Amino acid sequence: MEIRFLGTGAGRPAKERNVSSIALMLPQECGGFWLIDAGEGTQHQLLQTPLKLNKLEAVFITHLHGDHVYGLPGLLSSRSYHEGSGPLRLFGPEGVKELVHDMFRHTSSALDYELIVEELAEGVIYKDECMTVEAAPLKHRVPSWGYRFTEKNKPGPLLTGKLKALGVPPGPLYGRLKAGGTVTLDDGTLVKGEDVVGPAVKGRIITVLGDTIPCDCAVVLAKDADVLVHEATFREGMEEKAHKYGHSTTVQAAVTAREAGAGQLLMTHFSSRYSHADLPSLELEARRVFPNSFAAADFKVFKVESKT
C-alpha cells in the first residue's frame, strides 16, 4: 500500500503546491486506488502520475469546503472517457448528494458509469474482502470527517520446517493447510492447518483526517494506526489563529499522533505562507513531540509498512 499526495496546500492553489487530494493505492491483490478529497485541479495532478481514472474505485470527501471538492466535477466527468471505468463510490458529508446532483443538472452532464453516492454516518461505512472503512466527525467550521482505513488481516506463513518434519509433501496439501483445512497423510497422521501456520499478519491501518482542531475523535480514529495523515495548516506558536479558523498546528498534529500511538505522522494542508524551504523546520517542530513525523509535498509517495 502507498499514499501519494496530489495536493498539500490549504485554501487555494500555490506555485509549489495544489489544494487537497490524496491517492491511496490499495493492496496489490485488491487493485485500483482510492482518493481522499478532490480539490481544484486534482485530475490535472493525476496526469503527472501513473494513476488512471478507470482504476479509481472510490472517493472519500472529508468536508465540503471548496479546496477539498472543487475538483470533483471535472474528475467525475473525465472518468467517462476512460475505457473500463466501472462503478464508482463517492462518500461525503450531508449535502454531497445535492452538490453532485445540481452540478450535473446545471451542466447537462451525464456519466457512462454508475456513481453511487453515500452520505456519512459515524461508524463502519464500507467493507469488502480487502478493506474496512470507518468514519467519525471532527471539529471544523463546517461538518468535517476523518476516515480510518483498515486492511484485512492476512493468514500467517506456512511453517515449512514443521511440515517437513511431519512428512507433508509439497503441493496441494500445503494450500489446503494454509487455508485452515485438515489433511490425513498416508500413514494416518492427521495434520491441522492451525498447527502448521504461523500467526496472522495484522492488516495495516491508515487514518486520514479532514480539517480539524485537536479533538477526541481524531485520537480515536488514529488509535494504533500505522500512518496518520493530519492537517498542519500553521506552525507552532499560531495555535490561536489555527483555532479561530478550525485548523491545527504542526505540534498539535504531533500530539494527536503521540496520544493515538500511531506509527508515523504525515503532515499536509499547509498554509500558502509556507514555501518548500519551510518544510524542514515544520518537520522539526513536530519531531520534538513525535519523532516519526514528515511534511508531505505534492507528488511525494510514502510506502505504508506495518508498525508491528
Sign of the alpha-carbon torsion through 203, 270, 61, 71: negative
Residue 67 designated active-site: yes
Here the cell at position 174 is 500445503
Residue 211 annotated as lining a ligand binding site: yes
Does residue 63 have a known ligand-binding role? Answer: yes
Residues paired with 147 in a beta bridge: 135, 208
Angle at the Cα of 199 from the Cα atoms of 196 and 204, rounded to 5 degrees: 145
Check the annotation: does 67 bind a ligand: yes
The position carrying cell 451525464 is 110
Chain centroid, CA 220 distance in Å? 16
Q: How is residue 64 written as a grid cell?
A: 465540503
User: Is residue 148 exposed (0-12), middle (13-18) or buried (19+ Cβ within 10 Å)?
Assistant: buried
243 is in an annotated binding site: no
Q: Which residues pair with 91 in a beta bridge?
A: 60, 118
Supply the DSSP symbol for 10.
Answer: S
Nearest Cα to 166, choosing from 137, 186, 139?
A: 186
Is 140 within any annotated ligand binding site? yes
Q: Which three cell numbers stand for residue 140?
A: 471544523
Catalytic residue, candidates 67, 128, 195, 278: 67
Tell me the binding residues.
Answer: 63, 65, 67-68, 140, 211, 269
Tell me the binding residues for Zn(2+).
Answer: 63, 65, 67-68, 140, 211, 269
Mind telling me the catalytic residues? 67
